[in-house]
Amino acid sequence: MTETLALVSSRIDTYRQPVVYMHEDCHVCRSEGFAAQTRIRIDLKDRWIIATLNVVRRGAWLAVDQAALSVSAWAALGAEIGDEAAFSHPEPPASASMIRAKAYGERLDRAGFATIVRDTLDSRLSDLDLAAFVTACAGDRLNEAETVALTRAMKEAGQTLDWGQHTVLDKHCVGGLPGNRTTPIVVAIVAAAGHLIPKTSSRAITSPAGTADTMEVMAPVALDAAALRRVVEAEGGCLVWGGGLALSPADDHFIRVERPLDFDSTGQLVASVLSKKAAAGATHVLIDMPVGPTAKVRSAGAAEALGIRLSSVGKALGLNLALHISDGVAPVGRGMGPALEAHDVLAVLRRAPDAPGDLRARALDLAGHLLDLAPHAVAGRGRDRAQALLDSGAAEAKFMAICAAQGGFRKPGTAAQQIEIRAPHAGQLTAIDNRRIARIAKLAGAPRQKSAGVRLLVRIGDHMDKGQPLYELHAETPGELAYALAYAESQTGVLTLSEAVS
């Protein structure tokens, strides 16, 4: 017999993980044998979900005849006050044996990955299951055939945008380089050139900010497919968060687990990027791969291997894909964190005298390369055209028009808490550790706190005196500032100074 309980909203945000809360004396828990962390099927009218149980102790806020749902569970069921739902044990997920097989080194086919993706979207898999899958695929544990199979499974699980016979341009950076926020500038230039570039972006996984995080401080990014289409039809381009569009929707579940694990998988990176590009309707895609000793891609050999995998999977999906190898030795621009990076983007678009020259140059290189990819383009002319569109103000105007179409432009804010980190001795700056400086920015609160992060005040090659400011910590609370400062002061090699000025 199926047991029922009255539903209440816990108002607890568990992000995408559905959670149900029950009292330890609840008759359903006792009759069904439910315990903490049990997976439970919840049926309400014509909808159902599978949620993880958290047990509430006696004397707490929940009655014995009630079940409280997390924000995501409440929304997924379409629950209303006064509803009663049925609770039961779900059938074991079909993909459990496949995840176990992958963990032991077996190869999965397209059907296997499709089953895992389907169970992920149905919330049949717990976070422990997803963590096991992500870990089993980490590093180079997915071969080319598996990567193609996973990419297709992820793409086919969601909707695909159709732009008819139009050429649709897109670009993506594999990441690992703090501050490399070229995308808003590239989109503005390419759209100003008259091309379609419906750019969907992710939030940060292991970095202080993703493109969606940075763009969100300037304009709304959580658009649905209909709103995205309206923006692109009006302006030729957009800059939106892909998580609200059901384009490769399983990827957001994988990213949610990857973020605290703080690692990337080559195969899953390729599947994540290209499933979304194909789902967004892209026809021509440029992949930027920064290469440096502390970037995500650390060597020319690693770049070549990743490039081969991207190219082969792109070809299998029918994409015209090109690679752009860039310098990944040091961060780009000055800011690391959503608002700080947004200030850099606006400075470049507005042709400000103090705009970061490296960010401007990279954006022009990428925009030029992307324009050269378009059918009937005159090879080698793209960069000159991109520079003309930026210098004339056409790119700035297009960016502001895109912001307006997405819901209105907002000026990026600044952090309430700031402190300078100074040079311990005189010398020349010879290296910056991308990973450590990014970690400092994250400890300061980025990207969760939009104005938090790091602002660089020096570049590699600069000479400086003892006590000269190297970078600023920005935080929204004193506690986060102190936390980031303590880490920064405990580290050696974040910025490397020679012992003497030549």
Close Cβ partners of 500 (under 8 Å, ≥ 6 residues apart): 426, 427
Closest CA to 178 of 470, 402, 440, 422: 440
Q: How many CB atoms lie within 10 A of CB 443?
A: 22
Output the six-digit token pair for 34.
């439910």
Output the six-digit token pair for 419.
């402190």
Contact assessment for residue 282 and residue 313, using Cβ atoms and an 8 Å cutoff: no
Q: In sequence order, what DSSP letters do the residues of 378-417 get, joined into one string?
A: -TT-HHHHHHHHHHTTHHHHHHHHHHHHHT--------SE
Distances (CA, A) of 180 to 78, 327, 335, 351, 461: 40, 11, 9, 18, 19
Output the six-digit token pair for 115.
């089953």
Distance CA 436, CA 331 (A): 11
3-state secondary structure labels for all residues of 173-225: ECCCCCCCCCHHHHHHHHHHCCCEEEEEECCCCCCCCCHHHHHHCCCCCCCCH
Q: How many CB atoms lie within 10 A of CB 398?
A: 22
Distance CA 18, CA 39 (A): 10
Buried b / exposed e along 368-393 (16+ C-beta atoms within 10 A): bbbbbbbeeeeeeebbebbbebbeee
Closest CA to 487 of 473, 502, 467: 473
Farthest-apart Cα atoms in the chain, separation: 83
Contact assessment for residue 400 and residue 409, using Cβ atoms and an 8 Å cutoff: yes
| Helix (H/G/I), strand (E/B), else coil: 330 | coil
Annotated catalytic residue 224: no
Set 119, 129, 251, 264: catalytic member? 264
Residues belonging to the active site = 264
